Amino acid sequence: MTKNKFDSFAITAANYEALTPLSFLPRTALMFPDRRAVVYGERSYSWQEFYDRCKKLASALNKIGIRKGDTVAVLAANTPEMIEAHFGIPMAGAVLNTINTRLDAETIAYVLGHGEAKVFIVDYELAPQAKSALEIHGDSDLIVIDILDLQNTINPGVLGSTDYEAFLASGMDTFQWQMPTSEWDAIGLSYTSGTSGRPKGVVYHHRGSYLMSMGTITDWDLPRHPNYLYTVPMFHCNGWGHAWTMTAVAGTMFCTRAIVPEDIFSTILEHNISHFGGAPIVLSMLLNSPAAKGFVCPHTVELMTAGAPPPASVLQGIEKLGFNVTQVYGLTETYGHTVMSTWNSDWDTLNDEQRSALKARQGAAMVQTAGMRIVDMESRQDVPADGKSIGEILIRGNTVMKGYLKDAENTEASLKNGWFHTGDLAVMHPQGYAEIKDRLKDIIISGGENISSVEIEGVLHKHEAVSLAAVVALPDEKWGEVPCAFIELLDGAAVTEKEIEVFCRAHLAGFKRPKKVVFGELPKTATGKIQKYELRSLARSGRLN
């Protein structure tokens, strides 16, 4: 490409600044110093106080030698310290590695080692599993800092030589921290939950986290000064980046150590909560809570939910309580939500059932997402937008990870041909709205037909005796593969394979019906996810026949 007259300009410090969500904080602290930034029970910090604490954290980390590219790991609940970590750690030039609090000690030790953590900040409640992890990890150079929740008298164990508040006090709020030199610099490290094999370390950069915030503000219609209840665990894709996003719009973040429906309802009323997020299980918990009975919300609460689509009955029930649910889809590799079921006002006139079906779709590519495609698994061509043809979801854009840490092979494989390969299977509806059908490795290909294990599981879950169901492929001489169902029954329930077969006949096309049903407890990970790969290898072993 030859240079033209518009290409002769030098990039200068006057007209180029690395994009980073850290830029939101000094601005909001300057403009709204006295507004509340973070509230946690009786504790609350104004934006000036919060910024000062973040600067102290950065300063304290700097004092103990933390520099650019170092990893600081945090194992904590959604308390103010966790939000401060999202600013103070990258303000020191370091990379924030939030660790899933539900992991077993061995996996935590693996993460600490693989991520090369130099500092490990641990919430007092998680001290027991952290202690075991440290013993396995065995690196005596790792600096451990304890978060002691001052509202609790229980203290299961102090692991480090210093506690968080004392550490903060060693820093200075006059610390001259630096913005990143490049927007491609790493800001976060998040490990995938890893249903099979070792978890992979997903690396985020400043540019991505900045654009994630701007995209969320735009597509979630986020106004200035939302009251945000932080129920999304901050170890999941940095709580979808909301700590940064809420800072850009000078919101107030309400922390909660645990998800208790009664507390959520009372917090909504007491603090005029306008926005919150949660997995579909949170929606069910709210709806099934006795507190839901008397709940009347005087204002609409915006609720962002990700993960498996909530059943229509849950959606309708939760909306009647005063919540407006927005379904999103994304992965750790896409900084969280990258697709959103943005409501189209053309749908206003539809009935409840139709509306729920539309709301249960994962949605269209968000504004920060450069592209979403669903491609046929054979031809790799886009499937038609017919709501039927299943293909793999591909994503590209600035909120796709840098890659997997120290894993060039998986990085290249997942980012090949200019697209991130999600491994999720979906159909495309008109107007760019996708609907997830299955994980790629969970699809069953029978006589050339793609069968969604999710669809079959959905049917099985409707049976009154079924507690949990998982469907995988069973090798079959004639069809290649056929569906095989593993079912965990409710306590005291009893049902035969034949009864399940009859039930499925009423709800599923012939080729989709399980050809084999196995009853028993299902194998699960430490975080409660069903280990389908174990069921798959069991099915492949031939031991079922």
Q: In the complex, what is the shortest distance from the CB of residue 233 to its own copies, in angstroms, rounded to a whole number?
A: 23
Among 418, 448, 520, 542, interactor with its own copies by CB under 8 A: 418
| Residue 356, H or E segment | helix 352-359
Residue from 420, 444, 469, 481 touching its own copies (CB under 8 A): that is: 420
Q: Please identify, using beta-carbon distances, which residue of 70 and 497 lies nearer to its own copies.
A: 70
Nearest approach in angstroms of CB 197 to its own copies is 21
CA 471 – CA 489 distance, rounded (Å) = 15
- Binding flag, residue 528, its own copies (CB under 8 A): no
Strand order in the sheet with 252-255: 43-46, 36-40, 252-255, 227-230, 275-278, 301-306, 323-331, 336-340, 364-365
Task: Output the CA angle 141-147-153, nearest 5 degrees.
Answer: 135
Closest approach of its own copies to the CB of residue 287, in Å: 27
Residue 225 is a binding residue for its own copies (CB under 8 A): yes
Q: Which is nearer to its own copies, 233 or 363 (CB)?
A: 363
**Which of these segments, 127-135, 177-185, 470-478, 528-536, binds its own copies (CB under 8 A)?**
177-185
Span of 3-11, 265-273, 436-444, 451-459 interacting with its own copies by CB under 8 A: 3-11
Our finding on whether 348 is near its own copies (CB under 8 A) is no
Beta strand 36-40 pairing with 252-255 = parallel
For residue 6, the minimal CB distance to its own copies (Å) is 4
Among 25, 77, 95, 109, binds its own copies (CB under 8 A): 95
**Shortest Cβ distance from residue 383 to its own copies (Å)?**
15
Binding residues among 377-416 for its own copies as defined by CB under 8 A: 395-398, 400-403, 405-406, 408, 411, 415-416
User: Residue 206 in contact with residue 254, Cβ under 8 Å?
Assistant: no
The alpha carbon of 235 is separated from its chain's Cα centroid by a whole number of angstroms, namely: 8
Query: According to CB under 8 A, which one of 60, 103, 126, 186 is a site residue for its own copies?
Result: 186
Q: Which of 106, 139, 221, 270 is in the footprint of its own copies by CB under 8 A?
A: 221
Contact region with its own copies (CB under 8 A), list: 16-24, 56-64, 267-275, 449-457: 16-24
Residues 286-345 that bind its own copies (CB under 8 A): 342, 344-345
Residue placing its CB nearer to its own copies in the complex, 376 or 407: 407
* 1 part of the interface to its own copies, by CB under 8 A: yes
61 near its own copies, judged by CB under 8 A:
no
Q: How far is CA 307 from CA 81, 163, 328, in A?
A: 26, 35, 8
Q: How far is the CB of 337 from its own copies (least distance, A)?
A: 15
Q: Which is nearer to its own copies, 415 or 471 (CB)?
A: 415
**Closer residue to its own copies (CB): 346 or 464:** 346
Give min distance, CB of 400 to its own copies, in A.
4
Q: Whose Cβ is closer to its own copies: residue 219's or residue 435's?
A: 219
Phi, psi of 197 (to 5 degrees): 70, -170
Among 41, 43, 65, 69, binds its own copies (CB under 8 A): 69
- Number of CB atoms found within 10 A of residue 18's CB: 17
Stretch near its own copies under the rule CB under 8 A, chosen from 19-27, 151-159, 308-316, 523-531: 19-27
Which helix (H) or strand (E) is 105 found in, with range? helix 105-114
Q: What share of the chain is helix, strand, coil (3-state, %, to 5)?
A: 35, 25, 40
User: Which C-beta is closer to its own copies: that of 31 or that of 502?
Assistant: 31
Contacts 24+ apart (CB under 8 A), 489-497: 489/465, 489/519, 490/464, 490/465, 490/466, 491/467, 493/464, 493/465, 493/466, 493/467, 494/465, 495/463, 495/465, 495/466
| Spatial separation of the C-alpha atoms in residues 18 and 506, rounded to whole Å | 58
What number of H helices and E strands is found in the chain?
17, 26
Which of the residues 430 through 489 are near its own copies (CB under 8 A)? 431-433
Tell the burial category of 192 from Cβ atoms under 10 Å away from its Cβ (0-12, 13-18, 19+).
Answer: middle
Half-sphere exposure of 534 (CA within 13 A, CB side): 11
